[in-house]
Amino acid sequence: DALRRYGTIIYADSSVRFNSNSFNPVLIDNYIRGFAVRELPGHFLSCFTHTDTFTWFNQSYRNFESIYIAEAGFLVVTDTFLTRLIMKAWLTCALESDCLITHQSRTKCKETSSSKHRYDQSAMIIILTYFFFQGNKETWGDQKLNDPAPYDMFTSVPKNLGDIIRGAYEQYYLSRKQNS
């Protein structure tokens, strides 16, 4: 409803601290792509997603071994036909217990032994991978490098726009009013 009403939604969770209000490059770029998140290079989707989630999407984790996961804590969505399809698929997955919260399922990761499952992020990237062609995969020395995915906002976000600070304490947040 908010997406249709306002045209573009900028979502940031409580770990995002904005240093600037210069959203124009992100908004202009997002009119073209429609959906933007920040990729996490070196964090592969198959390492943070239970195999049952891939099964729900009728996919194998092997198809996603070289796809980076992206943060769901800061995203920009512009109302287009494509983003409506993405949001519908994401919402459908969220409402199905076999999709997001898979019990007794494990990750299968060849890079590391990870047992963390990033529920919303995993589903989001599986869906985005359907709609956007992934960048080229290359090896440089001992590093595996990917071109940024088409939905990676890193190319349009000004460096000083904000920081992600996990577990930060805010001095005056939810504090009692001092009597004068």
**Model confidence pLDDT, tens digit, residues 128-137:** 988 886 655 5
In a domain, 23, yes or no: yes
The angle that helices 119-131 and 81-95 make with each other, rounded to 10 degrees, is 140
- The CA distances from residue 111 to 62, 64, 121, in Å, are 12, 12, 19
Residue 136 belongs to some domain of the structure: yes
Q: Tell whether 131 is covered by a domain.
A: yes
What stretch of H or E contains 121? helix 119-131
Is residue 6 assigned to a domain?
yes
Per residue in 142-165, pLDDT (tens digit) is 665 566 666 666 665 656 676 666
Instruction: Give the separation between CA 85 and CA 69, rounded to whole angstroms.
Output: 20
How many domains does the chain fold into? 1
Does some domain include residue 178? no
User: Mean pLDDT, consecutive 10-residue segments, the chain of 180 residues?
Assistant: 90 81 84 85 83 89 84 88 92 88 67 61 89 63 62 64 68 63
Q: Which residues of 150-174 are buried (b: 16+ CB within 10 A; e: fewer)?
A: bbbbeebbeeebbeeeeeeeeeeee
Both tokens of residue 5? Answer: 């009403």
What is residue 113's predicted lDDT score, i.e. its pLDDT? 46
What is the predicted pLDDT for the residue at 9? 92
Indicate whether 114 belongs to any domain: yes
Token pair recorded at residue 154: 């890193």
Q: Give 173-179 contacts, CB < 8 A, sequence gap 24+.
A: none
Query: Is 10 a domain residue?
Result: yes
Domain with 46 in it: 2-164
- pTM above 0.85? no
- What are residue 15's phi and psi, to 5 degrees? -85, -10
Tell whether 174 is covered by a domain: no
Looking at residue 49, its pLDDT comes to 86
pLDDT digits (tens, 9 = 90+) for 50-68: 888 898 999 988 888 888 8
Taking the C-alpha atoms of residue 47 and residue 115, their distance in angstroms, rounded to an integer, is 8
The pLDDT score that the predictor gives to residue 105 is: 64
> pLDDT averaged over the chain?
78
* pLDDT (0 to 100) of residue 23: 83
